[in-house]
Amino acid sequence: MNTELLRKVCQTPGAPGFENAIREFIIKEITPLVDSISVDNIGNVIAVKKGKDSSKSIMAAAHMDEIGFIVRHIDDKGFLRILPLGGFDPKTLTAQRVIVHGTKDLLGCMGAKPIHVMTPAERAKMPEVTDFFVDLGLPKEEVEKYVSVGDAITRERELTEMGDCINVKSLDNRAGCYILIETLRALKAAKTLPAYDLYAVFSVQEEVGCRGAQVGALQIQPDFAFALDVTIAYDTPGAGSHEMCTELGKGTAIKIYDSSLIADRRMVAFMKAVSEAENIPSQLELLAAGGTDAGSMQRFTAGGAIAGAISVPVRNVHQVIEMAHKIDLQASVDLLTACVSNLQQWDWNWGAENKPLSKKASSKKADKKPAKKGKK
């Protein structure tokens, strides 16, 4: 896999509503891979790759925003009070570094009341995001030269490899961005076209309510929709077998259910058939809480889109130590590439009895054309 691309995409900042840097990076990466690129008024990147047939459209969306903060107040000593942009487990914020994106980037650290001076009641209380502040190590006069109320803050952590895994901040959802970029690259390398016109959307503000995907779906009105995101891998000590959701190293996850989406049963069956035919390792995902852009694409398309999601199993979601397995990342690229290439091989009518897609004679490789056999 292209670890260096994943490193760059994860470490480029982009809090919800402040996606400029990651947007510019993605546009540069995908420009040679698509037929056209536009940026809409909310900030979504919409890249179009023409398909074999333009009678239908595919929307594949990966949100490019990461959870972060916004500066709420600068106090008399130069400490920053903050509001969250996205969902945090506050106990994970202790002892973390952040980057404040003012007129220039400043490194800071998350501070809170020391445990040594807490009362017994305070020690027993779960922390809240508003209990924390950002310490830049500068007096107010210096802070105000570079930082203003309303500036964005992102977390600081470099990518590292641990065994067969990647550990870094913001795999949610730079992993999805990586998958979409690599799928576009695989299609170009294989000199093949998607079945229908493919709208590769790098959406904004997912972490604060899937706002970019809603806008994108209203514009594109896709027939088929794929969300590319992460999901919970609770395969660690203490997890019950029914709680795991997914496991690292078992392949990409085909979404069946989350709190925003009941995946289209036809799409689930199709993705399972593609996974089997192409020898792509996969597992099924049912996420009790949380959602992705898939729900927005399904609902904000007139008549509804045939929607599903490809999810990367990740441990420690919404922490700076998110962990994904290389097998699962590559399998996600392979599954999306094969799916967008073979949509026309499936009968999408309700109640259709599709035969399994023909198995490939050789093992799946991202730079080969997906199999074209199967019932039309």
Residues designated as active site: 206
List, in order, residues 6 or more apart from 371 with CB less than 8 Å away. Answer: 277, 278, 338, 342, 357, 358, 359, 360
- Exposed e or buried b per residue across 225-249, where buried means at least 16 C-beta atoms within 10 angstroms of its C-beta: bbbbbbbbbbbeeeeeeeebbbbbb
Residue 184 near residue 21 (C-beta atoms within 8 A)? no
Q: Smallest Cα–Cα separation from 341: which of 167, 190, 142, 119?
A: 190
Residue 31: other Cβ atoms inside 10 A: 11
Strands 252-258 and 261-262 come out as antiparallel
Question: In this structure, what are the phi and psi dihedrals at residue 165, rounded to the nearest 5 degrees?
Answer: -115, 160
What is the number of other CB atoms lying within 10 angstroms of the CB of residue 77?
A: 11
Quote the CA–CA distance of 183 and 58 in Å, as a whole number.
Answer: 14
